[in-house]
Amino acid sequence: GENVEQHPSTLSVQEGDSAVIKCTYSDSASNYFPWYKQELGKGPQLIIDIRSNVGEKKDQRIAVTLNKTAKHFSLHITETQPEDSAVYFCAASLGTGTASKLTFGTGTRLQVTL
Amino acid sequence: DGGITQSPKYLFRKEGQNVTLSCEQNLNHDAMYWYRQDPGQGLRLIYYSQIVNDFQKGDIAEGYSVSREKKESFPLTVTSAQKNPTAFYLCAGRRDRGSGELFFGEGSRLTVL
């Protein structure tokens, strides 16, 4: 089955700096890669996703890049703000239908300091 | 408000007791999922259901049971056979032919004393 590794497990950055979180996946058939943000005491929420037919996707201050050859994808957050502090999870799956099972990484706790 | 509603938010039980966690949705999602979250281990799939009266085991189904008698409801029972039940449990829904996004509830924290 799919295995997703995520690094680093914790990341501390100063407000205004950039943050990068990296994930690798094992199954070359996987073609859907979402990123979720989980705030304290809440459920995860999708912030951005990318499909294997594109190499990069941006949404304001966040971007995701995908390298299919190397089987890794990364989340980039620019101009970090205190409200970006949360746990971030990457995930991978084959397809997006209801039978597609997402495999999650182990999470990165991001702390943005003033 | 539309969403995934989990209850209770916190639950304490004695070892050996079965407990049932509730998950209700009013988003008309076809599929529903139960995940377990432990520190440093990410989210692991327990069970999922694509349609009423049908469900499949996930990666860590042992010691858990589910039912899907209504589209809106997907309760999870943590049985006494689950060796280490203390965890944060998350329910999610997903629309068929949708974007692939999982919509999560706010979770239930179960502590077994």
Please give, rounded to a whole number of angstroms, the shortest distance from the CA of A25 to a CA of chain B.
14
CB contact under 8 A, A97 and B107: no
Chain B partners within 8 Å of A107 (Cβ): 40, 42
Sequence-separated (6 or more) residues with CB below 8 Å from residue A7: A21, A22, A23, A108
Chain B partners within 8 Å of A47 (Cβ): none
Q: Note the pLDDT tens digit of each residue in A64-106.
A: 999 999 999 999 999 999 999 999 999 999 988 888 889 999 9
Quick one: what percent of chain B has pLDDT higher than 70?
99
How large is the average pLDDT for residues B57-75? 97
Backbone angles phi, psi at A83, to 5 degrees: -70, -5
Cβ pair B81, B63 in contact under 8 A: yes
Q: Note the pLDDT tens digit of each residue in B78-100.
A: 999 999 999 999 999 998 777 88
Please tell me whether residue A82 adopts helix, strand or coil conformation: helix
Task: Write down the pLDDT at residue B100.
Answer: 87
Least Cα distance to B111 among B76, B80, B88, B86 occurs for B86
Task: Write down the pLDDT at residue B7.
Answer: 96
Q: Which residue did the predictor score with more confidence, A12 or B39?
A: A12
Residue B35, pLDDT > 80, answer yes
Of the candidates A34, A43, A98, which has its C-beta nearest B106's C-beta?
Answer: A43
Task: Write down the pLDDT at residue A98.
Answer: 82
Least Cα distance to A95 among A36, A7, A27, A3 occurs for A27
CB contact under 8 A, A45 and B104: yes
Backbone angles phi, psi at A84, to 5 degrees: -80, -10
Least Cα distance to B48 among B94, B110, B109 occurs for B94
Q: Which residue did the predictor score with more confidence, B41 or A112?
A: A112
How large is the average pLDDT for residues B6-31? 94
Band of pLDDT at residue B1, cut at 50, 70 and 90: low
- Radius of gyration from C-alpha coordinates of chain A: 14
Quick one: what percent of chain B has pLDDT higher than 90?
84
DSSP per residue, B21-59 = EEEEE-S--SEEEEEEE-TTS-EEEEEEEEETTEEEE-T
Please give, rounded to a whole number of angstroms, the shortest distance from the CA of A46 to a CA of chain B.
7
